[in-house]
Amino acid sequence: MKPIELTLKGLNNFSDTQVIDFVTLTKQGLFGIFGPTGSGKSTILDGITLALYGEIARKSDNFINVNCNIAAVKFIFSIVDDNSNIITYMVEREFTKTSNGNKSSARLSKHHNDHCIVLAEKVKEVNSKCEQLIGLNFEDFSRTVVLPQGQFSEFFKLTGRPKRDMLERLFNLEKYGNVLTDRVKDKLTSTQSKYDFLTGELSTYDSELLSSLESKNTELLELKSQQSKLKTDLEDVTKTYESCKSIWDNQEKLSSWLKKKDSLDKQNKEIEDEQLKLDKAKVAEKIYPLITNVEEILKKLNTTLDQRQSLEKDMLEVEAMQKISEKAYELALKQKDTDQQDLILKKANLQHIQEIVSQLNITLKDISRLEKEQALLSDNKKLECDKLSSILSDLEKLEETIKNKQLKLKELSCDLNFKDTVFKGCDLSGQYTRLETELNKKTLSLNNLSKMITDLTTKQNSLIDLGTKTKTALNEATKQKNDWDAQLKDLEIKHLADKLRSNLLDGQPCPVCGSTEYNAIIIENVSLDNINILQSQIQNVNLSVKKLELELQYVTENYKVTSARIKDNQSIWTNLEKENQELANNLNLLRNELLKISTQINVNIQDFTTKRHEIELNERSAFALNQDIAQNQQVYLSIKSKQTQIDAVINDYNNKLIASQTSIKSKMEQVESFKSKIQNETGSENIPNVDAIINDLDKQIQKIRLNFETAQKNKKDIDDKIMAISQSRASILNTLHLLSTDYESALNKQNEQLSLHQCDVQMVKNSYLDDSNKLTLEQKIYNYTEEKNKVLGVIESLNEHLVEKKVSSQEWKQIQLIKHSMESHLAKMNEKEILLTNEIKLMSDKKQKFEKLSADFIEAEKQLLNLKALAHLFKGKRFVEFIATNKLKYIVQTASKRLLEITNEEFGMDMNNDNEFIIKDYKNGGVTRCLSSLSGGETFLASLSLALSLSSYMQLKGSTPLELFFLDEGFGTLDNRLLDTVMNSLDNLHGDKLKIGIISHVEAIKHRVPIKLLMLSSNDSDNSRIEMT
């Protein structure tokens, strides 16, 4: 899990929105969170756990800022999936103050390839999903991300029960401790209760249950035998009953069907009348359409005659209207040809006068406009003249300013050779200072390197002595081992011989040599205890040999490393000595050259920098003056350009004024000409209202045109009507001819059919039936015929079945009584069977329950014994201690590797037989040291290694690696040397997949961390802000 961004608002000290960019913060691997006590450093961790799990490590709900009602957190992080795809997740939570506590809401979403998918929007679902994504619960995450090193320093010194309790908490083994013990106790209690209950239940069962069950089964078998005999007799009676019942039913049916036949015979006359009516209707059906056709043609013929009479009347009226419309059309045409032409000529003359008046008005407007423009030009000319006077004054002042600045610039200039010499002297002085500093550093390095070579030589000599002692001890131990091996072999042979001898009988051949005479041989009696003691001594010697071999190997390798380091340091010392000599020579050359330059320009060596600063200051001032002069010259040129422009504008205004006066004079002459033309046209000096006269003429012309168009339209409409009436009359006459022909033909066909069937029109109409009535009549006749045939058939069939088969009423009743009696007796026997079956079932259930209780009792007894054994096993948390010890051994192995890396293979970590921590001091030959002998810095490094290993172990439980952790430790207790050691170790630890965050208020650490997150308190004590540097 890699953090990307954390946003906080209204949380603890942060009332305003604060955004932490973890990408920038962790880009160099090591970062720090600094601030005074109570500034909100731990709130960063609270924000992460609140976003992921909805709670903080302090288990408090009072985390909303006192000045806010809402706290909000947003955490963006990424996870690499199984396909190496980087998936980004964003979890958001909001907490609101209420009277009953805090109300929270949450949402988790996934962002991949510009797509956003909401994974959960409920608090519990978000908690579960986050735990699933990271693979750690809240407690494991807190132990993994936040490493409170002080706890592990304390853990080093714990023993006994406090150590077991802390191991139980660290490894989350509570479920194997008190929790598991309580579960075993609860299970033991419940099992004991179950055992007691089963004992009581078994005591309630009667021992005579099995014998009673057998007697009931015998009684049930006898009852079933009686039932079988009665069922056989009942089947015979039932057959007789069914035969008589069939005959009796047929007799009853025959009586019923004879009654139906009498009823149908009574309807025979009515059906014959209905059949006659149906036959007449079928004849009428053939003639009725012909009668209907004649009547329809006659009806159309009368309608057409009425239409012809109406058209003749309409024709007379339209012809009268035609004469009137022709007279009106001739009058309108005459008026259009004469009066309209006169009015149009008058209108044309008036339009000419109107154009002249319009031109006159335009000319008068132009004169007024030109007079206004002339006045405006005069005013503008005056303004431009005033501007010109002001510009000439500004030009004089600017020329004076430029002249003064040029004089000052001349005073600031200096000799170029003097400047170059001063700058050269200043550069040489700087080089001299740097070389002198570098020489001092290299001299200090030479002294440190000489001391290091001396220390390494001393260590090399001590390693030689230690190697010699170790070889001597190894040779002695090897020799001792060989002697004891020979003794052990001899003892084992003697013991085997003694064992063989004790098993041999007199006269029995020896299995080794085959001899039968061995009583005279005296064999020393060898005890098995002596062999075991010797084997134990040899085993201890073997351990000592292996230990001495490892120590000798360590000494040899350490000697090689020390020799190589001495050789490398001597080579470095030679190079540094040579570089020092070269630096000293360069310093002498620089000092001589500086004295020469100082004498040349009469400047002390110490004053070079001051003189250079003075020259640079003058040059900056001269550069500023040059810029001012250039700007003033630009302004001067701009003003001169404006003067030229204003002169051109004034000349333009003069030309425009002359042209305007000439135009006004020309327009006045045009006005006089237009007035003369109007007087000639109208004969009056006054200008008439031409528009009103033209409008009146237009109305008269429009009226004449409308009268003509109306008369023309009326004439055309009447002509069209006469044409339409003529066409309609011709069409009606043709229709009358066709209808007369059709009528005669239809009438002849009708009369032929009436004569053929010997009837008249009225008889056909009376006999005609529509389809519905005819269908009803046919269905009624058909139903009657079918019903009568069915009744006759059934009567005939019943008579056939009843030939020589009769049952009297008395016989039928007697058979019914016998059958009912036997069925009643059988029903009682069935009831008795059911009762017996239920009793047997109850007794069988009791038997099964007794057998199940017996099996449960045996199982409960067995489980009770196992639980008592488990309770004894978990007593005193021995099981928890066993699990914790195994986990701790694995963690100590990884912690030892980390400690070797941090301390450059000077220290390692291990556990003794009492499961206590010990330190391997490899710089002193791998000697074992107890924790109390460690310094504060050494204890810190050891506890840091143990904490990192625990963090790695916790992460193994997760589904994704955590790429950062926070180190919260009291760095203020460390001196500068130990602090350098710790910081160098942390620098070696971080990498691309591990980002380390330090939480502290120590200033010395702040300067060692490349990227810092500062907690700054504002004037308001309840509000802080975050700043990244």
Question: Are the beta carbons of 63 and 71 closer than 8 angstroms?
Answer: yes
Q: Give CA–CA dist 1014/1001, Å, rounded.
A: 10
Residue 16 lies in a domain: yes
Q: How confident is the model at residue 419 (pLDDT cuts 50, 70, 90)?
A: low
Check which CATH number belongs to the domain holding 1025 and give it. 3.40.50.300
Q: Rounded distance, CA 899 to CA 943, Å?
A: 9
Mean of pLDDT values over 616-624: 70
Q: Which helix (H) or strand (E) holds 260?
A: helix 209-266
pLDDT of residue 646: 75
Please calculate the CA angle 827-828-830 and round it to the nearest 5 degrees: 65
Instruction: State which of 958, 974, 1002 marks the end of a domain.
Output: 958
Contact (Cβ atoms closer than 8 angstroms) between residue 77 and residue 961: no
φ, ψ for residue 954 (rounded to 5)? -60, -40
740 band by pLDDT with thresholds 50, 70 and 90: confident
Half-sphere exposure of 727 (CA within 13 A, CB side): 6
Least confident of 125-134, 148-157, 325-334: 148-157
* Distance (Å, whole) CA 691 – CA 861: 133
Query: What pLDDT is attached to residue 520?
Result: 43
Q: Which two tokens stand for residue 1028?
A: 């990244």
Specify whether the CB–CB gap between 119 and 110 falls below 8 A.
yes
Among 331-335, 709-713, 1010-1014, whose mean pLDDT is lowest? Answer: 331-335
- pLDDT score recorded for residue 149: 47
* Average pLDDT taken over every residue of the chain: 76
Prediction pTM value? 0.37
SS3 (DSSP) at 780: helix
Q: Is a pLDDT exceeding 80 seen at residue 937?
A: no
Closest CA to 347 of 706, 705, 695: 695
Kindly state the tokens that stand for 704: 């004449």
Asked whether residue 841 falls in the same domain as residue 831, the answer is: yes
Residue 371: per-residue pLDDT: 73
What's the domain range around 826?
216-267+809-852
- CA atoms of 978 and 985, how far apart (whole Å): 11
Q: Indicate if 830 and 910 belong to the same structural domain.
A: no
Distance of CA 994 to CAs 302, 601, 667, 899, 966, Å?
116, 62, 98, 17, 11
Burial-class residue 648 by CB neighbours within 10 Å (0-12, 13-18, 19+).
exposed
Q: In what order do the strands lie in the sheet with 70-80?
A: 18-21, 2-9, 70-80, 86-98, 101-112, 115-120
Q: Are residues 28 and 127 in the same domain?
A: yes
Indicate whether 105 and 24 sit together in one domain.
Answer: yes
Residue 18 lies in a domain: yes
710 Cβ contact list (under 8 Å, min separation 6): 332
- Residues 120 and 232 both lie in one domain: no
Residues 813, 934: one domain? no
In 10 A of CB 936, how many CB atoms? 12
Q: Is residue 324 part of a domain?
A: no
Q: Both 1 and 131 in a single domain?
A: yes
211 or 603, which is more confident: 211
If you ran DSSP here, which 8-state letter would residue 40 be given?
S
d(CA 217, CA 535): 78
Domain assignment present for residue 574? The answer is no
Q: List the structure tokens of 669.
A: 């002459």
For residues 60-73, average pLDDT: 84
- What mean pLDDT do residues 399-427 have? 66
- Examine the pLDDT at 1014 and tell me if it is beyond 80: yes
pLDDT of 698 above 80? no
CA distance 270 to 277: 11
pLDDT at position 469 is 84
Given this model, what pLDDT does residue 92 score?
94
pLDDT of residue 587: 72
- 878 C-beta neighbours (distance < 10 Å), count: 10
Does 463 reside within a domain? Answer: no
Task: Looking at the structure, tell me whether residues 941 and 977 fall in a common domain.
Answer: no
Is the pLDDT at 178 greater than 60, yes or no? yes
Structure tokens at 918: 């010990």
pLDDT of residue 5: 93
What is the distance between the alpha carbons of residues 429 and 421, in angstroms, rounded to a whole number?
A: 12
d(CA 575, CA 577): 5
Q: Determine the average pLDDT of the residues in 739-747.
A: 82
- Residue 521 predicted with pLDDT over 50: no
Centre a 10 Å sphere on the Cβ of residue 147 and count the other Cβ atoms it contains: 22
Q: In this predicted structure, what is the pLDDT of residue 604?
A: 54
Domain stop point among 915, 931, 958? 958
Q: What is the pLDDT of residue 958?
A: 52
Q: Cα separation of 908 and 2, whole Å?
A: 31
> The tokens of 1009 are what?
């961390």
DSSP string, 911-929: E-TTS-EEEEEGGGTSEEE
Residue 626: inside a domain: no
Listed range (350-354, 819-823, 957-961) with the worst mean pLDDT: 957-961
Segment among 105-109, 348-352, 566-570, 812-816 with least mean pLDDT: 348-352
Render pLDDT for 820-874 as a digit per residue (tens, 0 to 9): 888 888 888 888 888 888 888 888 887 788 778 878 878 888 887 887 777 776 6
| List of residues 6+ apart from 33 with CB closer than 8 A | 41, 44, 966, 997, 998, 999, 1000, 1012, 1013, 1015
Give yes or no for residue 54 having a pLDDT over 60.
yes
pLDDT in tens, 575-613: 777 877 777 777 777 777 767 666 665 555 555 566 667
Write out pLDDT tens, residues 976-1004: 766 777 777 777 666 666 788 888 877 77
pLDDT at res. 904: 77
For CA atoms 945, 951, 957, 961, the dihedral sign is negative
Query: How many domains in the chain?
Result: 3
Distance CA 45, CA 964 (A): 12
| Cα gap 459→475, rounded to integer Å | 24
**Three-class secondary structure of residue 112 per DSSP:** strand
Shared domain check, 890 and 918 = yes
815, 240 in Cβ contact below 8 A?
yes
Rounded Cα distance between 849 and 843, Å, is: 10
Closest C-alpha among 1001, 909, 996, 987 to residue 946: 909
Contact 884, 164 (CB under 8 A): yes
Judgement on whether residues 887 and 898 belong to the same structural domain of the protein: yes
Q: How confident is the model at residue 413 (pLDDT cuts 50, 70, 90)?
A: low
Distance of alpha carbon 510 from alpha carbon 519, whole angstroms: 11
**The domain boundary residue, chosen from 958, 990, 1007:** 958
- Residue 88 is predicted with a pLDDT of 92
Strand partners, 58: none
Axis crossing angle, helix 608-682 with helix 268-412, rounded to the nearest 10: 120
pLDDT tier at 522, thresholds 50, 70, 90: very low
Tell me, yes or no, whether 22 and 98 share the same domain: yes
The radius of gyration computed from the CA coordinates of the chain, to the nearest angstrom, equals 67
- Rounded CA-CA distance 436/591 in Å is 11
Please report the pLDDT score of residue 737 as a whole number.
83
Would the pLDDT of 622 be above 80?
no
Determine which of 247-256, 477-486, 849-858, 925-934 has the lowest per-residue pLDDT on average.
Answer: 247-256
pLDDT at 172 over 70: no
- Whether 26 is covered by a domain: the verdict is yes
pLDDT grade for 499, boundaries at 50, 70 and 90? low
Residue 728 lies in a domain: no
Could you tell me if 129 and 7 lie in one domain?
Answer: yes
Helices 771-801 and 268-412: crossing angle in degrees, nearest 10, is 120
Q: Give mean pLDDT, residues 816-822.
A: 83
- The residue among 93, 102, 99 whose CA lies nearest residue 46 is 93
